[in-house]
A = this chain, B = another copy of it.
Amino acid sequence: MTAERTLHHFPLDPFSRQVRLAMGEKKLDFQELVERYWERPERLEALNASGMTPVLVDQVDGRPLVVAESRAVLEYLEEQYPERPLLPKDAGERAEVRRLQQWFDRKWDFEVNGLLLHEKIEKRLLRIGAPELAALRRGREAVRGHFQYLEHLLGDRDWLACDQLTLADFTAAGHVSVVDYLGELPWDKFPLVKTWYMKLKSRPCFRPLLADKVSPIAPADHYDNLDF
């Protein structure tokens, strides 16, 4: 039996999605292991003390190397598999990529995921009650603020951080795509953001994400539609 590269992830975890996209773009094959992390599976906790996804188990010189948490996995992929680079060479552009990664992983995560994903996904999977409308409203308002900012950025740039597709796009797409699964994005009011997302969505690396279905939460009707 040959040891394979494996990725422990959860389909609706925005941090896992960033890694699936980057690995897809770099054409790295891997076996997927879905982890329902809130049930605290032992297999996952043995690999990552935080108990969170994503965790990559790569095979290096015939031995397993465990890389846990999206920030570590994305930088690892870039350092070990630089052929299809997702960080620019220029220092200022690299800084811009990582600024935007922190924007999404911290600001969007707190202002959007903490409300919309908590109310519509976590409460459902953990069976801890119905969504609160006031929280959903605040989450939707936060999305509009973020989309306004992205629309502004995409006024001068082909991709989010610069004129090249980078980790910033995949970090953003990891977060945005989960909220899109829930049908909570105001696409029609933000044409540049919509075009940016259409370009991403039509890449081969996006296909596995568009096939995700996490019962009992059904994806929005347009979720896997490339022309939405």
Query: Closest CB of chain B to A170's CB: distance in Å?
Result: 15
Determine whether the beta carbon of B99 is less than 8 Å from that of A60: no
Nearest CB in chain B to that of A70: its residue: B102
State which size class the interface on A falls in: 20 to 34
User: Closest chain B residue to A67 by CB distance?
Assistant: B95
Contact assessment for A91 and B76 in the assembled complex, using a CB-CB cutoff below 8 Å: yes
Q: Is A220 interfacial (CB-CB < 8 Å)?
A: no
| Minimum C-beta distance from A13 to chain B (A) | 13
Distance to closest chain B CB from A146 (angstroms): 11
CB-CB contacts below 8 Å: A88-121 with B = 91-92, 94-99, 101-103, 105-107
A217 within 8 A of B: no
Distance, CA A64 to CA B72, complexed state (A): 29
- A47-75 contacts to B, CB under 8 A, are 48-50, 52, 60, 65-73, 75
Chain A interface SS verdict (over half): helix
Contact B92–A65 (Cβ < 8 Å)? yes
Instruction: Choose one: B72, B95, B97, B103; the contact of A65 (CB below 8 Å).
Output: B95
A48, A50, A98, A105: residue with the most chain B Cβ atoms closer than 10 Å: A98
**Chain B residues, CB < 8 A from A101:** 71-72
Distance in angstroms from A12 CB to nearest chain B CB is: 17
- Residues of chain B with a CB closer than 8 A to A75's CB: 75, 94, 98
Within the complex, the shortest CB–CB distance from A202 to chain B, in Å, comes to 28
Q: List 21 A-B contacts (CB under 8 A).
A: A49-B103, A50-B103, A60-B91, A65-B91, A66-B92, A66-B95, A67-B95, A67-B99, A69-B102, A70-B102, A71-B101, A72-B94, A72-B96, A72-B99, A72-B101, A73-B95, A75-B98, A76-B91, A76-B95, A79-B91, A79-B94
Apart from A65-B92, A68-B95, A71-B101, list 13 A-B contacts with CB within 8 A. Answer: A50-B107, A60-B91, A65-B91, A65-B95, A66-B92, A69-B103, A71-B102, A71-B105, A72-B98, A75-B75, A75-B94, A75-B98, A76-B98
Binding site for B on A (CB under 8 A): 48-50, 52, 60, 65-73, 75-76, 79-80, 91-92, 94-99, 101-103, 105-107, 149
